[in-house]
Amino acid sequence: MWDRIKQLWSKAPRPPQTLQLPEQEQRALLAQAQQALDQGQYAQAERQAHELAGSSIAELSEQGIRLLGLVYFHQQQYLQAWPIFQKLAQRTGSVKDWFNVATSATLAGEIAQGASAFESALKAHDGSDESPALSAASMHLYYACALRDRSEHAKAFEHVQVLRALYEKLPQTDARTLELRNFPRLDAVLDMMADVLAHSGDIPEAEAWLRSFGQQLKGSSIHKDIAQAIERLHRKAPPAPPPQETAAAAATPGAAPASAPEPASAAHAPLAEDSTAQQSLPLERQDKEPRLD
């Protein structure tokens, strides 16, 4: 009996079975899985995505694999999500699949893997004969958001610089022009920029950088947008360390402590933060996700 049990356990697992359903039923299953994902019914979406991944129809199989990665991504299980997206990207070579690898790997802490995938996404974008749904500006924004959320502010600033150059070339930055060019909203870009610059270590210089950027932009609401970005910059900046007593004062009993610094002016003083302000929150976006299609 023991030998039989050992033989059973030593058998290799069977490969996943091919989905044996008519194409119409498979497409209906895909719609159900997508709806389950949208409604947060992750167990159902995961089960149905696994089934679809075994489809003999290449398009539906790819949709199933992509949906499976999204199931994990939506649950912030990035370590499970990014290898799935990578396997799919190596199969399709598409911009969106490589970009999904870039964002999920970065959020999983695999910074080098994310950077490599982002370069692959850019190459796929530049080499595409058709106009990809994801613009280069959107890619730089959402990838910078992922780097920001992992506190990789210096790396995120590289993409801040790219975005600045792209937006300064635009004839207008109103919502309609940006939509026609498939560019992200300016306020979303400025929010991310302020978040990154808040960790530059030099808030006055960061504020000057934002003002200089605003002077190069064209649009009716630029002044308001830049003012809001500067307010966010000060609000997101880490609090200054408390003043330290001088060595002499600390060593001499009864010595007066070093004088406290003068309070900052209201225009430059960081605003009070609530309990959630220290958390790394996703940037508010129109699609609420970092462009994972």
- The pair of structure tokens assigned to 97 is 């699949």
CATH, range 78-134: 1.25.40
Q: What's the whole-model pTM score?
A: 0.76
Residue type, 288: K
- What is the chain's pLDDT, residue by residue, as a tens digit (293 residues)? 545 544 444 443 344 556 778 889 999 999 999 999 999 999 999 999 999 999 999 999 999 999 999 999 999 999 999 999 999 999 999 999 999 999 999 999 999 999 999 999 999 999 887 677 889 999 999 999 999 999 999 999 999 999 999 999 999 999 999 999 999 999 999 999 999 999 999 999 999 999 999 999 999 899 999 999 999 999 999 987 776 644 444 444 443 333 333 333 333 333 333 333 333 333 333 333 444 44
d(CA 56, CA 58): 6
Strands (E), the chain: none
Element (H, E) at 1: none
Q: Which of 280, 190, 203, 279 is nearest to 239 (CA)?
A: 203
Contact predicate 85/64, CB 8 Å: no
d(CA 100, CA 91): 14
d(CA 133, CA 97): 12
d(CA 201, CA 233): 12
Q: Residues with Cβ < 8 Å from 31, sequence gap 6 or more?
A: none
Contact predicate 136/185, CB 8 Å: no
Give the CA-trace dihedral at 176, 177, 181, 187, to 10 degrees. Answer: -80
